[in-house]
A and B are shown apart, each in its own frame.
Chain A
Amino acid sequence: MDSFYALMGGFEIALTFQNLGLAFLGCFLGTIIGALPGLGPSNGVAILIPLAFSLGLDPTSAMILLTSVYYGAMYGGRISSILLNIPGDEPALMTTLDGYPMAKQGRAGEALAISGVASFVGSFFATCGLVFFAPLLVKFALLFQPADYFALYVLAFATLGGVSSTNQAKAAFAAALGLGIAMIGVDGQTGVPRFAFGEVHLYDGIDFLVAIVGLFALSEVFIFLEHRGDGSGEGKEAKMTIGRITPSFEMLKFCTPTMIRSTILGFLAGVLPGAGASLGSFMAYSAEKALVNKNDTFGKGDPRGVAAPEAGNNSAAGGALVPMLALGVPGSGTTAVLLAMLLALNITPGPLLFTKNPDVVWGLTAALFIANFMLLFMNIPLVGLFVRVLLIPPKFLMPIVAMVSFVGIYGISGSTFDLMVMVVFGIMGWGLRKLEIPLVPVIMGILLGNAMEANLRRAMTIDNGDWTQLFHSPLSIGLWTVAVVGFVLPIIFGKAVKMRIQRAKAESDGLSD
């Protein structure tokens, strides 16, 4: 009940004119960002962070803006999946499987409507889940000792590497690379510079916002430069007839069980540190396909095949906020970016956030409920507006992305050195993506590196450097076990999952071409 009262207080914060305006702006921008191929939730939020920061927004308002963008992008991703057969962002990949066939049958409007409703159901119930589970997790997290926190960080990296990448060695490499970058700068505990090569600019360390914008946003520009002219980057015309855009009652009833099951699955995938929305939509789609695909209609334009991944990825997006707020360990790439935002505002997420800054937590949660209704409205009756945005070709979009990235970073630091570091990260991001090295562990490493080391050293100081203390409490043993299982098990089974995603995609290409 406490959470309920706290949430009511949150509504008081969220219902100010400024915060409502920011939520609306965030939803609008987010839907556009999600719909545009090449801009997804993580790089979209990344290029807007510096903006929120330099506008001098207070932490609650800044989080409301960015989280609305995050939710909005989850809604928007489906638009280009359905109309163009190009996922607007990675989690919307599964939506192409049934969404595009529906559009080809002239039922694009219906697909947009049902996926909009599914998105709403997913994120609405995930936000309820956030209200319910985050405080529980906080109570649990207050028991954590430094050694347990260290194990938790290891767990986050292990599940991230294990579950969401094909090659565990590459994920481990990415994590170590990020952690290594975090080590640059003056050591917080003893005051000695590390890896600074005598360069004064590096004494403060690498600003994670600079790294994030470079890795996520600028690398996209390089990818488009590489693929210019070979067709994959060019905007296809969305000339299909949209048809009716209100879902019929029978259709909703038909899809309801699917949406409920997918919401639950997606939420679980989201809460798991490191798994994220892509896994949520994949699990939801596969489960529904296995469960209700009796007449073999999936992949040929079954509305349930559109509802499942959309409910799943939106629900996972909400679920991913739970560990981010309650433990300070992000559950996905975009929540990692949001964590960076909080850190940049001097707010440390984790159990203490709920007692020290309850306004941030509950104001944000309340704003998410409001944002959801705004998004439902934008994404069903007004969806035509966003369809037009898809016609912006990358040759104009990408220069805008690059320039806005520079403006944002320059607005925060005003330093040319930081801009150059950002370009270096942009090139690095391009190279890593070519080699299929996941970027999210790099970001998580840069973000969490110092906290991870601090907890390890604190644990060692408490126990005078006795290594065995890391595995002393039952809690830490449990966390280590999950970490090892989470990393090793997917090496055996995970390949199959990723291959099935790719095969499913190949099948749909076979159908559409």
Chain B
Amino acid sequence: MGDRIFGGIGLVVAAFFIWQATQIQLSFISDPFGPKVFPYMIGTVLALASLAIMLRPDAAPKWPEAARLAEIGVAAVVLFAYAYALPIAGFIIATTLAAAYLSWRLGTKPVQALLAGVAISIGIYVVFHLILGLSLARGPLGF
């Protein structure tokens, strides 16, 4: 069933892609081919492949139960938040929290996970910033 739904989504994406390609503004300089034709070709392949997937689906993958899907969703949100918070809170604080969260969700006990988070963030800070000189996000506290 997964593949049939996916093929359907693929068709929608292909249609959207081709529609967007028609919206491309042409400029006054152009070659005989123009900037639209290759996207049309890609969109066509995308649509044909989606159709083929829909008509001849593989066995459905084993989808995780709802709780696990939520788990992945929350992890993604945490990573988005991490990306957002990085320049605000600084590397060490943001990384400690994000790494601790991931480690906790992967099965470490909470206190241990926090320790792991601290160790990972300080470890990366030392190796990448102090030794290798990579510029990391600097927060209000200077690290």
Contacts and interface: CB of A to CB of B under 8 A. Distances in A.
Interface of A: 51, 54-55, 166-167, 169-170, 172-173, 175-177, 179-180, 183, 187, 189-195, 218, 221-222, 224-226, 228-229, 394-396, 398-400, 402-404, 406-407, 410-411, 414, 416, 419-420, 422-423, 426-427, 430, 434-436, 452-453, 456-457, 460-461, 464-465
Interface residues of B, number: 68
Contact of B120 (A173, A218, A225, A399): A399
Contacts of B35: 187, 189-190, 192, 194
B126 interface: no
A461 B30 CA distance: 10
A175 B45 contact: yes
Interface in B33-66: 33-35, 38-39, 42-43, 45-46, 48-50, 52-53, 56, 58, 61, 63-64
Counting chain B CB atoms within 10 Å of each CB, the highest count among A180, A404, A426 belongs to A180
Contacts of B30: 190
A177 B10 CA distance: 9
B83 A461 contact: no
B33 A461 contact: yes
A420 B80 contact: yes
Contact of A436 (B58, B87, B107): B58
A191 to B, nearest CB: 6
Nearest to A445: B42
Contacts of A461: 31-33
A172 B43 CA distance: 11
Given A167-B53, A172-B48, A402-B79, A435 B68 contact: no
B84 A416 contact: yes
Contacts of A169: 49, 52-53, 56
Nearest to B38: A453
A410 B33 contact: no
A395 B104 CA distance: 8
Nearest to A409: B83
B76 A190 contact: no
Given A221-B102, A226-B64, A170 B49 contact: yes
B11 to A, nearest CB: 11
B53 A173 contact: yes
Contact of A456 (B38, B43, B82): B38
Nearest to B77: A423
A396 B10 CA distance: 36
Given A190-B30, A194-B39, A426 B49 contact: no
Nearest to B102: A399
Contact of B10 (A173, A430, A460, A464): A173
A390 B75 CA distance: 25
B46 to A, nearest CB: 4
Contact of A167 (B31, B58, B80): B58
Contact of A435 (B2, B45, B75, B128): B2
